[in-house]
Amino acid sequence: MSPAAGDARQRLSALREQIAEHNRRYYVEDAPTVSDAEYDRLMADLLELEAAHPEWVTADSPSQRVGAAPLDAFGTVRHAVRMLSLGNAFEPQDIEAFDERVAGTLREAGLLPQGVVEYVAEYKFDGVAVSLRYEDGRLVLAATRGDGQVGEDITANARTLRSVPLRLRGPDVPAVLEVRGEVLMTRADFDRMNQAQAAHGDKTFVNPRNAAAGSLRQLDPRITATRPLRFFAYGWGQVLDEAGREVLPHGRHGAMLDWLGALGLPVSPGRRPCRGAAGLLAFYADIGAARATLPYDIDGVVYKVDDLKSQEVLGFVARAPRFAIAHKFPAQEETTRLEGIDVQVGRTGALTPVGRLRPVFVGGVTVTNATLHNEDEIRRKDVRIGDMVVVRRAGDVIPEIVGPVEALRTGAEVVFDMGTMYPACPVCGSAVERPEGEAITRCTAGLFCPAQRKQTLWYAASRKALDIEGLGDKLIEQLVDSGRVHTLADLYSLGELELSTYPRMGLKSAANLVEAIGQSRRPPLSRLLYALGIRHVGETTARDLARHFGSIDAIVAASEDELLVVPEVGPVVAASIRRFFSEAHNREVIADLRAAGVEPVAEAVPVGEKPLAGKTVVLTGTLPSLSRDEATRMILAAGGKVSGSVSRKTAWVVAGDEAGSKLAKAAELGVPILDEDGLKALLSAPRAGGPPA
């Protein structure tokens, strides 16, 4: 070899070692020491060198992680040592019984000097089991579990996983080492990958487990190489020394895992030594509580007797060891039949599809329905009535339909179509509409629709609104269905005797409710406004409106322009308020409330708040009496800003004679246009009717 070639070879092997070491720091130690860019640079250098010297490329070069050529089919592999499965337990009693059995056997064998069994507890990863075979420290074979005796040869795919070392490191590398562990995907990687798949119009996966399995079983390793798979070791199979003898360098499971870590393998994190059943159950409780915060899914924990001699004595039953057991968490995902899609009508008339499910126990509760959000969401997930679907309930979040199991389709499934299936409101029969560009179909009946009426009452009684304690959704349902309550105002005529005739209403609770309703007759104006449930008027806007106008009458009477003076009220909100009060039955509700003795209390305006605060005004043309400078000064004094150009952010355009393109622009964008008198009214009138500032 020439001196130059010798240098290149040295550089090549240095690069391979550096890259392998950075992989190890990232995946095994979880403590990277270089940036992604630096790593990519090293890899680019390696690829360049190997391109110049193809004869030097070896299977254990990190460059090979991009994936070898596609296969026609996977070969089969007979495992040198069988890959076992685990017995499952769900209840604490099962674990106590397991510990007693183990302790009994070990006591008889004289292997329990301290009287309590020492275990190692680990996560039970929800991924795909694989076996990696290293000969003389080099990865030579990777296989799936298969039936435990014979699996599939996935060597080319396993090589693409950066967390799988292609060579073992350190002085005590055995002649043969089979490592057993799990391939999985983190939830964050899964979400990112699914988004990318969807963006390219490619198939998406229902969960990280399926994604890991699907990615690992690709016949084209170049595809596997693009998938964010990880490996964690939790055990071993065959271990041989140079003479072909079986050897285990350590006598304890925990020490063996530490050894695997020292060889450069990523080992099951979160493992912990535990003593007796009490120690195991404490681990279960801790991990169960932390489950949702782990970066990947686990479906339980696994307990293993630590002492390997004891493991041997305990032996096996059928395909599972007696020295280990899986303690499962309640499943967060289950598959069940989507029997139908119902539609619920909400407070604002939104028709929300709700999946009706064959009851299924998931995440610790029985789930019978799950929201599907809206029609577009159903289409995006391609969920059809009659599908077998994956239902997920993680932690305390509401159950969700993740997606269909397409492989189980019979062809009899029905595509949901809001337009044809719900041409009218399912509650009141009124017309529905789906405005262009919106995902939501709404019932147009407003408070004539009993569903909207119930939801509106419930909203009005809620804590942020009139805060009527004791008025729950069941009672509201009965009050509306019996025809006794149509509007908010009707609540104030309810008497305790009458209320006590409703189911589950004693005289005492009826009296308390009447008292609570009575107290709500003097609400702060902002809460009454909020309680009306005007679209786009939340807590903050209600407070701003109340402060600005000071009375409900002033708000009812306000024009859109006048409403726009209020900080944070833009054209959409102003239009929504106007629309609400221009409806006769909404004004009637206000009149009825007053007749029922409801008198809101005005809220003080903080000193220093200005009528045009946060608003931008554009002046154009010549005003009849005010000069440009005078008008500008007045607007600035009122807290407003003056701008030279019209945009959607402009609150008003004040136009005089010979106004030009700005006026046209304002008309085009729908920006309100005022004359000089309008400007003056804006500057002086807004607080009329309000409390003194």
With contacts defined by CB under 6 A, how many residues of the chain interact with ligand IVH?
A: 17
Is residue 47 close enough to count as binding ligand IVH by CB under 6 A?
no
Q: Which stretch binds ligand IVH (CB under 6 A): 123-131, 273-281, 604-612, 671-679?
A: 123-131
Estimate to the nearest angstrom the gap between the alpha carbon of 622 and the chain centroid.
56
For ligand IVH, give the closer residue by CB, 326 or 532: 326
Q: Which of 367, 391, 71, 350 is nearest to 221 (CA)?
A: 71
Q: Which is nearer to ligand IVH, 85 or 430 (CB)?
A: 85
Told to check if 46 binds ligand IVH by CB under 6 A, we report no
- Select from 19, 102, 129, 460 the one that contacts ligand IVH (CB under 6 A): 129
86 binds ligand IVH (CB under 6 A): yes
d(CA 235, CA 552): 72
User: What is the token pair recorded at 399?
Assistant: 């159950």
* Residues present in the chain in total: 693
Largest separation between any pair of C-alpha atoms in the chain: 108
> In the bound complex, what is the minimum distance in angstroms from residue 86's beta carbon to ligand IVH?
4
* Least CB distance to ligand IVH at residue 299 (A): 8
Q: To the nearest 10°, the Cα dihedral for 319, 320, 321, 326?
A: 170
CB of 316 to ligand IVH, least distance (A): 9
Q: Which is nearer to ligand IVH, 212 or 525 (by Cβ)?
A: 212
Q: How far is the CB of 250 from ligand IVH (least distance, A)?
A: 17
Q: Is 214 a residue that touches ligand IVH (CB under 6 A)?
A: no
Tell me how far, at minimum, the Cβ of 447 lies from ligand IVH, in Å.
55
- Of 84 and 669, nearer to ligand IVH (C-beta) is 84
Residue 23: Cβ-neighbour burial (10 angstroms; 0-12, 13-18, 19+): buried
Containing 162, the helix (H) or strand (E) segment is none
Q: Are 595 and 621 spatial neighbours (Cβ–Cβ below 8 Å)?
A: no
Residue written as token pair 């998931």: 362
Would residue 124 show up in a list of annotated catalytic residues for this protein? yes
Contact 620, 652 (CB under 8 A): no
Please select the residue that binds ligand IVH; options are 235, 254, 264, 349, rule is CB under 6 A. 235
Q: Rounded distance, CA 210 to CA 221, Å?
A: 17
Nearer to ligand IVH, 15 or 95 (CB): 95
Under the binding rule (CB under 6 A), the answer on residue 124 touching ligand IVH is yes
Q: Segment 275-304, which members bind ligand IVH (CB under 6 A)?
A: 302
Tell me the residue type at 373: H
Burial class (CB in 10 A: 0-12, 13-18, 19+), 395: exposed
Helix (H) / strand (E) element for 479: namely: helix 473-481
Per-residue mark of binding to ligand IVH, 144-183 (x: CB under 6 A): -x------------------------------------x-
Alpha-carbon span 137 to 316, nearest angstrom: 30
Q: What is the DSSP letter of 493?
A: G
Least Å distance, CB 122 to ligand IVH, is 4
* 544 belongs to the binding site for ligand IVH (CB under 6 A): no
**What is the distance between the alpha carbons of residues 656 and 654, in angstroms, rounded to a whole number?**
7
Which positions from 323 to 342 touch ligand IVH by CB under 6 A, shown as an x/- string? -x-x----------------
Tell me which residues touch ligand IVH (CB under 6 A): 84-86, 122-125, 129, 145, 182, 234-235, 268, 302, 321, 324, 326
Task: Give catalytic residue positions.
Answer: 124
